[in-house]
Structure 1
C-alpha cells in the first residue's frame, strides 16, 4: 500500500473531516459563472475593474493602502523581501527555520532573488522577540513571520508578544513581512480584526485557495509605494499574465463564501482534536489547536494502518485521517484543516464514527 493510493481514496470520500466539500470541475465553473456579473469584463495584463476592484476590497479589509493580485505566493513572497532589501541596501532577511520559501520552494529566495537568510528561532516553536534580536547580528532588511505557522501545527505567537516584535522591528528600521497564506484563520484566535493584525506588518501576503477554496492566486498588500514597486517586479518576473479573471473570480467568491465561517471552523477543529486525542496512539500538535488547522502523530504500524485505513474509508465513505506528510518506522504524521465538509455530519455523528474508527483500527495503533 502506497501513500498515493491512500491519498486517492481519501480524496474520493464524500464525507471528509479535513477539507472543503468536494465539487466537480463543471460544478465549480458553473458556480463561478453564476457569481460573475453580466457586465463584468476580463482583466488585461493586470488592469481592469474586475481585478482592480478586488485589489481595493482586500486592501481595505486588511487596512492597507493598496494591493496587487499575483498568480502565486511563490512569486509574491520573495518579491516582497527583495523590495525591502533594495530599499535597505542589504540582502539579509530573517526567516523561521520552517519558513515556506526555504522549505517548499527550494530556497528560491536565495537562488533566484539573491537574498541571504538568517535563521530565526527554533524549528519546534514560534519565534520570540529575543530570537529577532539574535537574528539581527547582521543588518536586516526584513523579518518574515508566518501566521499561523503551518509546520508546527498552525500555532500562533501570543498577541502581546507579536506586538512587541512589531514595535522592536520598527524601532530598528527593519521591515516586518507576513506570510499570511492562512491569515484568514487568525482573527478568531486573536479576537482581532484582519486590519488589526495586518497593522503590525509593513507588507502582507495572502493566499486565496488554502482556506477560501479558490483555484489559485495570491495578493501582496502594503502601502502605495510598496505596491508600485511590486508592479514593476511582477512585470519583470512574468507575473502579469494576459488575463487572471478565473483566479480573481474564484478568489472573490471564496472570500465571500468562506471567510465568515472560519471562527466556527476553529471551534470545530478544537472539538475534533479533543476527540482524536482520546484514541490510542493519537496525539495532536498543539493539543488544543490555535486555529482551524492542526497536526497529529499516530503511533502505529504504518503499512498496516494505511492498508486497513483505506479499506475502512472504502467501506464507510468517510475520511477521518488525512494521508501522512511524513512516515516514520512506528508513526504517521498528518495534518487536518477543517473546512465546510465537516458540516456533512453533526458532532455526535462524528463522535460515533471516530469511536468506531478507533475500535476497528485498534490492532494497528500503539497505545
Structure 2
C-alpha cells in the first residue's frame, strides 16, 4: 500500500495528524454559520454593519485608526505599495528576496503598478539593521515580514525592529508590516499586536493561516491611507457583492484562537525538539520563534516520502503533508502547529517519533 499512495493522501488517512487545525472542508463554514441568525444582514460592496464592525474591531486590536477587509493579502499588499509609492513619488520599494510579492505573485507589483523592488540581504538570512542603514534610500517603502516564512519563520530581535523603525522615520521612509502571521509571533516578542504595529505605518494580517478562517485579510493604518485603500480595492475588483462568508469565518476563528498562540508556540518548540533528536533531521530555527518552522532532512524527497508513508501507516500519526525538493541528497518541509497537536496523547507522539527515527536510520544506511 505504501508504494501506491501519496504523502498527502496518507496524511489525511491518519488518526493523529500533527499540524494545523484540521481539514479545510465545507464543515468549517457550516460550523460558523450554524451559530448565527440566518436573518442577519450581509455586507454589500464593502459596507454594512457586519463588515464595518469587524474592521473596527481589528483596527483597535492593531492600534491603528482604521482598517479595511480584503479578499486576499496579495491584493492588500500590492495596494499598500501603490499608495505609498504615489504618496512619496517614488515607484520603488524594498523587501527581502523571498518576500511574497517577489516570489509568489507573478511580478504583479511590477506589471500592475509599475513598481520596482530593491532586494535587501540575501536568501539565507533576515534583513538586518545594517542592511537598512546601508541601503539606497531612494525608496518609498520598506516592507518587513514577521516571521520570515521562507527561511523557517525566523525573526529579528525586538530591539532591532525598533532601530529599523526609528531609522525609517528619520529618513521619511514608510515602514509596512507583512504580518500575515502576526499573531503567531506575539508570544516570542512578549508584546501586544498594538505594540508591534506601532513601529509600522501600515500593516496587513491574514485570516486563513494561523487563525484558520476561509480566506481574507485586513489592511490597517491611518484614516487617509485606509480611505485610499478602499478606492483601490474597488479598482482591483475586491468589492465583491458580499464578503460575509470570509468575514464571519475570520471573526469567528479570530475570537476563538487569538489567545491560543502561546499554546501553539510551546507545541512548536516541543515538536522541533523531537525532530532534532532524529537521525539526519534538523529544524530551522533549531528552537522555533513562532508556531512554524522548517524541517531539513538528509534524504531526497523521492526516498523520504515512502519512509514517511510507512510510518503513517504503522503508527497512525501524520507528520507532514508535503515535502519540497532541495537536491539529490536533501529535502525540507514547513510545519505549522495549530489545535490538533495538543489533542494527541504524548505517548502516541513519542512512539511515532521512535518509529520515525528507526526508519530514518535504516534509510540513511542504505543511502
Task: Give the RMSD, CA atoms, in angstroms.
Answer: 1.9
Q: 1:3 to 1:321 in 2, by over 3 A?
A: farther
1:351 Cα offset (Å): 1.8
1:303 Cα offset (Å): 2.1
Partner residue of 2:12? 11
Q: Deviations over 1:7-40 (max 9, x none)?
A: 2322343421221123642x32321113424552
Taking the aligned partners of 1:71 and 1:14, their CA distance within structure 2 comes to 33
Q: Deviations over 1:309-347 (max 9, x none)?
A: 223323433111341133421111111101111022133
SS at 1:216 equivalent: coil
Partner residue of 2:168? 169
Partner residue of 1:251? 250
- When normalised by structure 1's length, the TM-score is 0.95
Partner residue of 1:47? 47
Q: 1:4 to 1:87 in 2, by over 3 A?
A: farther
The equivalences for 1:108-119 within 5 A come to 108-119=108-119
User: Structure 1 stretch 338-347 or stretch 31-40: which is displaced more?
Assistant: 31-40
Taking the aligned partners of 1:4 and 1:107, their CA distance within structure 2 comes to 35
Partner residue of 1:29? 29
Is the 1:178–1:203 contact (alpha carbons within 8 Å) kept by the matching residues of 2? yes
Q: Deviations over 1:165-202 (max 9, x none)?
A: 00100111100001111011111010000000010000
Is the 1:320–1:354 contact (alpha carbons within 8 Å) kept by the matching residues of 2? no
Taking the aligned partners of 1:111 and 1:3, their CA distance within structure 2 comes to 42
Taking the aligned partners of 1:321 and 1:215, their CA distance within structure 2 comes to 21
Is the 1:3–1:323 contact (alpha carbons within 8 Å) kept by the matching residues of 2? no
1:365 Cα offset (Å): 3.3
Where does the alignment leave 5 or more consecutive residues of structure 2 unmatched? none
Q: How many residues align?
A: 365
Partner residue of 2:339? 340
Q: 1:4 to 1:208 in 2, by over 3 A?
A: farther
Where does the alignment leave 5 or more consecutive residues of structure 1 unmatched? none
User: Structure 1 stretch 90-99 or stretch 325-334: which is displaced more?
Assistant: 325-334
User: Structure 1 stretch 50-59 or stretch 122-131: which is displaced more?
Assistant: 122-131
Is the 1:301–1:365 contact (alpha carbons within 8 Å) kept by the matching residues of 2? no
- When normalised by structure 2's length, the TM-score is 0.95
Taking the aligned partners of 1:100 and 1:316, their CA distance within structure 2 comes to 36
Partner residue of 1:71? 71
Partner residue of 2:209? 210
Partner residue of 1:222? 221
1:354 Cα offset (Å): 0.9
Taking the aligned partners of 1:2 and 1:167, their CA distance within structure 2 comes to 56
Q: 1:3 to 1:43 in 2, by over 3 A?
A: farther
User: Structure 1 stretch 309-318 or stretch 153-162: which is displaced more?
Assistant: 309-318
The equivalences for 1:132-281 within 5 A come to 132-135=132-135, 137-281=136-280
Partner residue of 2:296? 297
Q: 1:4 to 1:314 in 2, by over 3 A?
A: closer
Q: 1:265 to 1:329 in 2, by over 3 A?
A: same
Q: Deviations over 1:132-155 (max 9, x none)?
A: 1332x2511000000011011111
The equivalences for 1:280-319 within 5 A come to 280-319=279-318
The equivalences for 1:326-365 within 5 A come to 326-365=325-364
Taking the aligned partners of 1:100 and 1:288, their CA distance within structure 2 comes to 24
1:254 Cα offset (Å): 1.1
Q: Deviations over 1:87-135 (max 9, x none)?
A: 0000010011110011111221111121011111122111112211332
Taking the aligned partners of 1:87 and 1:97, their CA distance within structure 2 comes to 24
Taking the aligned partners of 1:3 and 1:21, their CA distance within structure 2 comes to 24
